[in-house]
């Protein structure tokens, strides 16, 4: 079906009022060399859109990095009222870039307006921890934010909306959202650990001096925090002759893999802040696109990725917490990879990050009661 929609821009701070098209099915196959059939646009919401990550993410989505080179999109950009002017600037740049796939932009400071008809929601906005703040105080701020946005998503978004939470604490923010949007299936709410997954891929490729796309099936277990466990026990490196070599055998240095490698991935975010004086933005935005693209378009046969998803008790992880597992994706649905062997060292680290998430869940539920 061919659909042609004129580019439009609308803001709730004043401007043209226009009705957005609804989408049908998302496909990620590359366009035909001889003909391109444009599909109906998919509506993607980015919260915190005037911030660093949002500013990096919006053009990636508009260029096709999230849903493929043949999938038109409409962007809904949400931020808080103090960021309204900056948000208008983001819209201006998106218009000026003249992205062929971008069929509409709505900039808003109203969650209800921004959530209307949304098919994919990338939740970047949140309250960051500031110097001198207690964990529970930060949790309380984020509970309020995600409770309100959960309500708007449940009421106004598409019934099959796919949600990715990026803002930290990502796992527990996703859980808060899920608790406050019972009409949205729990499997449709996820959090970003693909950034950590990609960091692990990058470190292995640097260590071996190989292209990063030859490194497969690393795993991030647990929380998107310094307790996460980057695991290479089941990962492989694909040689030029097509044969796969286990990462452990290729590196042949257990001291590195249990020491420097784990520490580097766990603390990469802090290292970037130290170097840039700002948190990860480009890599976070790119990883968010990777997460959604695999979720919607599927994972390659024999390969998995890491996603923060609701635990079903697999690998003896407490049910009901948002925990990063290895997953495969088919037909827009993720499935936890089952049956992987877990050694004693891995068990210890998987349990440590699980215990942190159990504590965060307890704190978040207390904040919900108090709120």
- Phi and psi torsions of 98, nearest 5°: 55, 55
Provide the edge-to-edge strand list for the sheet that holds 236-238: 215-216, 236-238, 244-246
Q: In 163-175, which positions are buried (b, 16+ CB within 10 angstroms) versus exposed (e)?
A: bbbbbbbbbbbbb
Provide the edge-to-edge strand list for the sheet that holds 322-330: 9-11, 102-108, 73-78, 42-47, 120-123, 162-165, 189-191, 305-310, 322-330, 333-336
Return left, alpha or beta for 78; rule: phi > 0 is left, psi -120 to 50 is alpha, else beta. Answer: beta
Residue matched to tokens 């962007």: 75
Q: Residue 329 and residue 281: Cα distance in Å, rounded? A: 25
Cα–Cα–Cα angle for 5, 6, 7, nearest 5°? 115
Q: Which residues are catalytic?
A: 224
- Phi and psi torsions of 122, nearest 5°: -110, 110
């Amino acid at each position: 079906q061919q659909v042609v929609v004129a580019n439009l821009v609308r803001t709730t701070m004043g401007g043209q009022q226009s009705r957005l098209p609804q989408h049908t099915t998302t496909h990620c196959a590359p366009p035909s060399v001889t003909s391109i059939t444009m599909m109906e646009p998919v509506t993607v919401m980015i919260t915190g859109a005037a911030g660093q990550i949002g500013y990096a993410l919006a053009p990636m989505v508009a260029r096709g990095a999230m849903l493929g080179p043949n999938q038109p999109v409409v962007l809904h950009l949400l931020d808080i009222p103090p960021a309204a002017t900056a948000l208008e600037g983001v819209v201006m740049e998106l218009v000026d870039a003249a992205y062929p796939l971008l069929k509409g932009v709505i900039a808003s400071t109203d969650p209800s307006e921004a959530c209307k008809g949304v098919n994919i929601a990338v939740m970047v906005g949140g309250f960051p921890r500031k110097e001198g703040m207690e964990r529970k105080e930060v949790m309380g701020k984020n509970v309020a934010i995600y409770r309100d946005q959960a309500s708007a998503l449940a009421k106004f978004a598409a019934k099959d909306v796919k949600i990715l939470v990026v803002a930290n604490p990502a796992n527990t923010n996703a859980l808060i959202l899920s608790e406050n949007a019972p009409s949205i299936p729990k499997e449709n709410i996820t959090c970003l650990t693909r950034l950590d997954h990609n960091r692990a891929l990058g470190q292995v490729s640097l260590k071996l001096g190989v292209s990063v796309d030859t490194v497969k099936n690393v795993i991030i277990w647990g929380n998107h925090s310094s307790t996460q466990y980057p695991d290479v026990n089941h990962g492989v490196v694909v040689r030029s002759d097509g044969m796969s070599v286990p990462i452990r055998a290729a590196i042949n240095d257990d001291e590195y893999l249990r020491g420097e490698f784990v520490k580097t991935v766990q603390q990469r975010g802090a290292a970037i802040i130290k170097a840039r004086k700002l948190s990860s933005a480009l890599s976070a935005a790119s990883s968010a696109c990777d997460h959604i693209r695999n979720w919607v378009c599927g994972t390659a046969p024999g390969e998995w990725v890491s996603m923060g998803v609701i635990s079903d008790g697999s690998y003896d992880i407490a049910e009901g917490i948002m925990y990063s597992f290895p997953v495969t994706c088919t037909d827009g649905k993720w499935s936890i990879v089952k049956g992987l062997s877990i050694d004693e060292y891995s068990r210890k680290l998987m349990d440590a990050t699980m215990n942190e998430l159990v504590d965060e869940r307890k704190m978040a539920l207390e904040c919900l009661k108090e709120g």
